[in-house]
Amino acid sequence: MTEPSPKSNLARFAEAAVHQLEQVDPELSAILDNEYRRQAKVLTMVASSSIADPSSLICEAMTPMNVTAEGYPGRRFHAGCRHIDEIEQLAIDRTKAIFGAQFANVQPMTASSANEVVMFSTLKPGDTLLGMDLDSGGHLTHGSKASISGQVFNAVGYGLDSNERLDYDQAHALAREHKPKLIICGTTAYAREIDWARFRAIADEVGAYVLADITHVAGLVAAGIHSSPIDHAHFTTTCTHKQLFGGRGGLIMIGKDHDQPAHDEPGKTLAQVIQNRVFPYFQGAPNQSSIAAKARGMGFVGSDGFKAVARRIVDLSQALAAAFVDKGYRVITGGTDNHIVVVDVMQKGITGVNAEKALEDCGIVVNKNRIPFDQKPPSVTSGIRLGTNGLAIREMEPEDMVECVEVIHDVLSHLEQSGEKEYRVDAGAAARAEAEVARLCALRPIRTYPPVQG
Ligand code: DSN
């Protein structure tokens, strides 16, 4: 008989920590347990979410959280950072290697703050930026009036053409007219590949910088399935918790332009300006546990198996889109190149919010989303957005997507809408859907998790 290997310090710490939480705070630990079980029992199809590996999740809970470490590896303002420096340097090195970047800053707490860092590195209040309209599939931080990006800066928005495709000609014309100092590309609800080179050509013509926010497609970029903006954009930002399956946070990368002199900061390169804007301009000490989780996420993305995960993400979303089309739904742009599928549910007389809530009641988690030229407000919407990051981690197969759409169609076909936010689903359809979701979740468990009890 082989002796069980002795537990490492980390394993004993993690086990004791969970035990202690359960003892000292049963109220909170019960809620956390419910959330753990919820995730195992639902189909997570919110396009901006994913299912991180436990090896990333545990990094978020580790002792680097206790270390205050302002500054950068080798140049800290606090003592006690020997291992912290190793962790951060590992995250930087892995990020640069995976994306072919010359520079990476892994300290931003979110992708939104990473975008703000780039904006405040390239623009002064009142300067003009050009970004994709939120309603067309952009992001709040790309110039929406609801965010600092649209309030501090003069934000001009480009959108979609009559085929619901990104309107590069409009972006070009607006750039010529408004002479922005920064052009932002990257989307949150656009299912098609983005032509980074075209944005760079537009920017070069008007003397603008390009920020590529790859938050939604970072994993596909890392795997070479979506083209990379690293050497087209001056700056590339992403969050690390969607398609990179790592810590919750953001990062900033620069490719070939890293050592270009900054337009408005004599004597400084673009990389130096970004370093300074992250710390000390916007942040003090970063969350070093999240940085450890980012390093682990990059370990996963850099591993041999990741390309297959990324390929599966797209195979599943294309199967999902095709199944919706087969059922007579209008899929925006008719299909997808990435993990996103946007479906017009108003065509079936259902608001996005009612579809979202009815599906969640049955264990399918999607989100309401405005569709191009939507007449409904963001709290109601005419569409739903679905994504396949979480399904790929369950190793679902394209044929499972046909099942998913069968279930979704059954629920939506038995939804009685009494108001924009009021609905009722026939009890028989709801029961059928719940049973089918339970079957799929059992058939395709989140593989790296232990089975869920109770
Ligand atoms: N950008 C938001 C989304 O796409 O849902 C949140 O990350």
- 275 & 166 share domain: yes
Nearby residues of 450 by Cβ (< 8 Å), 6 or more positions away: none
Last residue of a domain, one of 246, 278, 301: 301
Work out which ligand 1 atom sits closest to the CA atom of 367.
5
* CB atoms inside a 10 Å sphere around CB 173: 13
In a domain, 370, yes or no: yes
In a domain, 41, yes or no: no
Pairing of strands 154-158, 367-369: unpaired
- 236 & 290 share domain: yes
**Contact indicator for 273, 288 with CB cutoff of 8 Å:** no
Nearby residues of 104 by Cβ (< 8 Å), 6 or more positions away: 91, 92, 95, 96, 251, 252, 253, 254
Choice between 249 and 5, residue whose per-residue pLDDT is larger: 249
In a domain, 330, yes or no: yes
- 109 & 127 share domain: yes
Instruction: Decide: helix, strand or coil at residue 132.
Output: strand
> What is the enclosing helix (H) or strand (E) of 237?
strand 235-239
Q: Whose CA is nearest to atom 7 of ligand 1?
A: 48
* CB atoms inside a 10 Å sphere around CB 123: 20
Q: What is the DSSP letter of 143?
A: T
- pLDDT tens, position by position, 389-434: 999 999 999 999 999 999 999 999 999 999 999 999 999 999 999 9
Instruction: Count each helix (H run) and each strand (E run) in the chain, helices first.
Output: 16, 17
- 116 & 208 share domain: yes
Cα(161) to ligand 1 centroid in Å equals: 23
The alpha carbon torsion through 218, 221, 227, 231 (nearest 10 deg) reads 80
Q: Whose CA is nearest to atom 5 of ligand 1?
A: 48
CA atoms within 13 A on the CB side of 334: 3
Q: Specify the pLDDT at position 224.
A: 98
Comparing CA positions, the residue from 435, 424, 405 lying closest to residue 350 is 424
Instruction: Decide: helix, strand or coil at residue 286.
Output: coil
pLDDT average, residue stretch 330-334: 97
**Contact indicator for 236, 212 with CB cutoff of 8 Å:** yes
Hey, what are 450's tokens? 């232990």
The per-residue DSSP string of 336-359 comes to: -SSSEEEEE-GGGT--HHHHHHHH
Cα(390) to ligand 1 centroid in Å equals: 15
Hey, what are 327's tokens? 């059922």
- 83 & 193 share domain: yes
Give the residue numbers spanning the domain of 364. Answer: 306-443
Hey, what are 358's tokens? 């009815």
pTM of the model: 0.96
- 180 & 195 share domain: yes
Q: Is the C-beta atom of 48 inside 6 A of ligand 1? A: yes
Nearby residues of 273 by Cβ (< 8 Å), 6 or more positions away: 121, 262, 265
Q: Specify the pLDDT at position 6.
A: 77
Rg from Cα positions in the chain: 23
139, 184, 384, 389: which to mutate for ligand 1, most atoms within 8 A of CB?
Answer: 139
In terms of DSSP H, where are the helices of 277-351?
A: 288-301, 306-326
Q: Is the C-beta atom of 139 inside 6 A of ligand 1? A: yes
- pLDDT tens, position by position, 143-202: 999 999 999 999 999 999 999 999 999 999 999 999 999 999 999 999 999 999 999 999
- 249 & 318 share domain: no
Q: Is the C-beta atom of 188 inside 6 A of ligand 1? A: yes
- 244 & 337 share domain: no
Q: Is the C-beta atom of 192 inside 6 A of ligand 1? A: no
Work out which ligand 1 atom sits closest to the CA atom of 111.
7
In a domain, 51, yes or no: no
Q: Specify the pLDDT at position 160.
A: 96
* CB atoms inside a 10 Å sphere around CB 191: 26
- 289 & 315 share domain: no
- 265 & 370 share domain: no
What single-letter amino acid sits at 213?
Answer: D
Q: Is the C-beta atom of 142 inside 6 A of ligand 1? A: no
For residue 380, name the pLDDT band (cuts at 50, 70, 90): very high
- Looking at the 3D structure of the chain, how many domains does it have? 2
* Distance, CA of 372 to CA of 93 (rounded, Å): 39
pLDDT average, residue stretch 56-61: 96
Decide if pLDDT at 453 tops 80: no
Q: Is the C-beta atom of 187 inside 6 A of ligand 1? A: no
**Contact indicator for 149, 142 with CB cutoff of 8 Å:** yes
CA atoms within 13 A on the CB side of 370: 16
Q: Specify the pLDDT at position 448.
A: 64
- pLDDT tens, position by position, 364-378: 999 999 999 999 999
- 229 & 373 share domain: no
Last residue of a domain, one of 284, 301, 318: 301
Hey, what are 387's tokens? 């994504």
Residue for token pair 């109601």: 380
**Contact indicator for 287, 293 with CB cutoff of 8 Å:** no
Comparing CA positions, the residue from 407, 352, 338 lying closest to residue 380 is 352
Q: Specify the pLDDT at position 454.
A: 56
Last residue of a domain, one of 282, 301, 320: 301
In a domain, 342, yes or no: yes
Give the mean pLDDT of the chain: 96
Hey, what are 447's tokens? 């593989």
CATH number of domain containing 175: 3.40.640.10
Residue for token pair 């198996």: 305
Decide if pLDDT at 450 tops 90: no
* Distance, CA of 368 to CA of 256 (rounded, Å): 38
- 256 & 382 share domain: no
